[in-house]
Structure 1
Amino acid sequence: MHSDSSSAANAANTVLFEDVSKRFGAEEKSFTALDAVDFAVARGSITGIIGRSGAGKSTLIRLVNGLERPTSGKVIVDGVNVPDLDEAGLRALRRSIGMIFQHFNLLSSRTAFGNVALPLEIAGFDRDAIRTRVEPLLDLVGLSDKRDRYPAELSGGQKQRVGIARALATQPKLLLSDEATSALDPETTQSILELVKRINAELGLTVLLITHEMEVVKAVTSDVAVIDKGIIVERGRTFDVFTRPQHPTTRALLSGLPGSKLPAALASGLRPHKTQGGRVAVRITFFGRTAEQPLISQLIQTLGSDINIIAGTVDEIGGEPYGSLIIAYAADDATCAKADEFFKANGLVAEVLGYVS
């Protein structure tokens, strides 16, 4: 039974972390970078791992390609436990894993074509085979006309596209992205993320994306794990985690997204307790069917009083509609009770932010 369940898990997932811990240094001065991590990367998904600097993200990704070995636990990639591999096994594994980096890591002495060709040359491909493989990749990333340009002649976005093409050269099953958009401007970041989504869809490639940027996670991932001080504190479908964050770290990371941050004037005037004749400020989260209904007008009718709309945004997470609206209404007990009943009846997530005079 255990063997069957393990086989099923391996078939469904490209990467499995099973009770993985990683410590650095001698026992007395050791530092725990990862602590009992259990996490799966579904085959064919774009999965994000997000956390602050120093949370353990880069250590996690280095375990996948064998650049680090866990102190304990299993790191299973495509059915193989990476720590069990010898050097020959690791070389074979790394040919099935593509990697894109924050700072591109291109060779300045090689053209775009030459950089993409490098892993194929190392693998022993002949000239014709390399050309047959590299030219379609340059076309895929939109750089056919830049094949003979050197990195110094390319923009940041173009350099990253070369890096992506190079990562795909060995036809990997898994693509690792370590802060790949952190050095890019927002417009270029968006174009790179669109490219990653297209590669995932067209090639069926599993993508494991490490980032500290919630906007990146929101834009491309289907699943996400939140890591804090080496521990996975929350995980699930990106839409579920973003619309119903359970852990304080997740809420803190989400607070910087548009529509989540309170206007300065409101934030400075919020009080923790209600005052006579004051109003309560509430953030309402809309998703699914509720994002398309006239709920505010219905809420006004239910409460029988005015509502101030303070801030709001409408967006998509994983192709599903999502909205966040900050409103204020009378803070008396009767009005608040009616509002709470309305929110529950309509499947809305409501968070009291504080009270204003």
Structure 2
Amino acid sequence: MQPLSTSPHAASTPATDPAGPPIVDFQSVTKRFPATGEGAGDFVALSDVDLSIRRGSITGIIGRSGAGKSTLVRLVNGLERPTSGRVVVDGTDVAALDEKGLRAIRRSVGMIFQHFNLLSARTAYGNVALPLEIAGVPAGEIRKRILPLLDLVGLSDRSSLYPAQLSGGQKQRVGIARALATEPKVLLSDEATSALDPETTRQVLALLKQVNADLGLTVLLITHEMQVVREIASHVAVLDKGSIVEEGDTYSVFSRPAHETTRAFLEGVTGVRLPAFVTSRMESEAAAGRSAVVKVVFTGPTATDPVLAHLGRDLGIDVNILAGAVDEISGKPFGTLVVAIDREVLEPARRFIEARGLTCEVMGYVR
């Protein structure tokens, strides 16, 4: 895959600007669907959602099935209209547009799908060219646009193949190239990696990250996979039962989740599993003769500092490491250690650790 640095689209798209207006802005958005059963009330898919998507960002929207993620993304390109509130894309209120206006906004909002949605009777080239043909772009201009896109997604040697001749990852690359053909300002990804194996998922995520960097394109990533968000998203919002329960930059949300839904999602990504010999003996009461089981989260500029070694050296406090994991989120170091500290020296140990910018949580006590 080669960077598309010579594209005029890349030159014309501004980089991420935290101080500038959002490129997508959900303002008090509620979406209800009429009841289907007798006596049932309307189904509320989204409830009073306020969310701003920064220009040039990769923003992950996560939530369980039925949380409202797909409804949210369909509001951006006008496939659904809000029951109340406004969805503003690059200064335009999508719900206020007529059919002509909706066609224009859909050209500026590309979309890739979980199951590719390719036409089996068209080659890779033909699938990518389709939106331009529908828009009436001349064949010569189409070719000038499509060939660099196929090169960008690593399929310049597969342009004449049909979907049945392509792997799942290659099909998704065709889908990405097709979404980019109209030179959109926003790229929507609705569970685009859910049907792919882990290695192919990594390749597709790397491609999305490259597209974001090379074209300055805003990416809105809908997923239930926290690993996907951790891999490439600069920002994240958590949907639960139609409401935004937590949002912020990915590192802050992942390292210090405030809502129980976020914490539940993160258990398999940033959590540390305690061994059975600890959990089977853990108690909630801080009785004499017991040690505190403490989770220490390493984040920020001190994430790689040997704080526990300093604790033993400076205060003479022994620490027994029970479990741990070190990783990175959005390219920044992140670690979690679960340690046992004698109950008698717990408070000075906690003060020492927290004074260095780390967080402590007492999980229980063991003999």
TM-score strictly above 0.5: yes
Once the two structures are TM-superposed, the CA of residue 55 in structure 1 deviates from its matched residue by 0.7
Amino acid at match of 1:343: I
* 1:3-82 map, 5 Å: 11-26=20-35, 29-82=41-94
**TM-aligned CA distance change 1:302 to 1:32, over 3 Å:** farther
* Residue number in structure 2 paired with 1:239: 251
- TM-score between the two structures when normalised by the length of structure 2: 0.90
Once the two structures are TM-superposed, the CA of residue 258 in structure 1 deviates from its matched residue by 4.9
More helix by share: 1
Unaligned runs of 5+ in 2: 1-16
* Residue number in structure 1 paired with 2:13: none
* 1:61-210 map, 5 Å: 61-210=73-222
Unaligned runs of 5+ in 1: 1-7
- TM-score between the two structures when normalised by the length of structure 1: 0.93
2:359 to 320, 337, 349: 349
Using the alignment, how far apart are the partners of 1:20 and 1:275 within structure 2?
Answer: 51
CA root-mean-square deviation: 1.8
Once the two structures are TM-superposed, the CA of residue 303 in structure 1 deviates from its matched residue by 5.0
Using the alignment, how far apart are the partners of 1:110 and 1:10 within structure 2?
Answer: 44
Once the two structures are TM-superposed, the CA of residue 107 in structure 1 deviates from its matched residue by 1.1
**TM-aligned CA distance change 1:91 to 1:262, over 3 Å:** farther
Cα deviations across residues 99-129 of structure 1 (Å, max 9, x unaligned)?
0111111111111111111111111122211
Aligned: 1:339 with 2:343: no
Amino acid at match of 2:357: G
Amino acid at match of 2:114: Q
* 1:310-349 map, 5 Å: 310-330=322-342, 332=343, 334-349=344-359
Aligned: 1:274 with 2:286: yes
Cα deviations across residues 70-104 of structure 1 (Å, max 9, x unaligned)?
11000001101111011111111000011011111
Aligned length: 348
The answer to whether the 8 A contact 1:10-1:16 is kept is no
**TM-aligned CA distance change 1:346 to 1:10, over 3 Å:** closer
Amino acid at match of 2:32: R
2:235 to 223, 237, 261: 223
Q: Secondary structure of 1:187's match?
A: helix
Using the alignment, how far apart are the partners of 1:270 and 1:63 within structure 2?
Answer: 48
**How many percent of aligned residue pairs carry the same amino acid?**
61
Aligned: 1:284 with 2:296: yes
* Residue number in structure 2 paired with 1:4: none
**TM-aligned CA distance change 1:311 to 1:9, over 3 Å:** closer
**TM-aligned CA distance change 1:21 to 1:337, over 3 Å:** same
Q: Secondary structure of 1:19's match?
A: strand
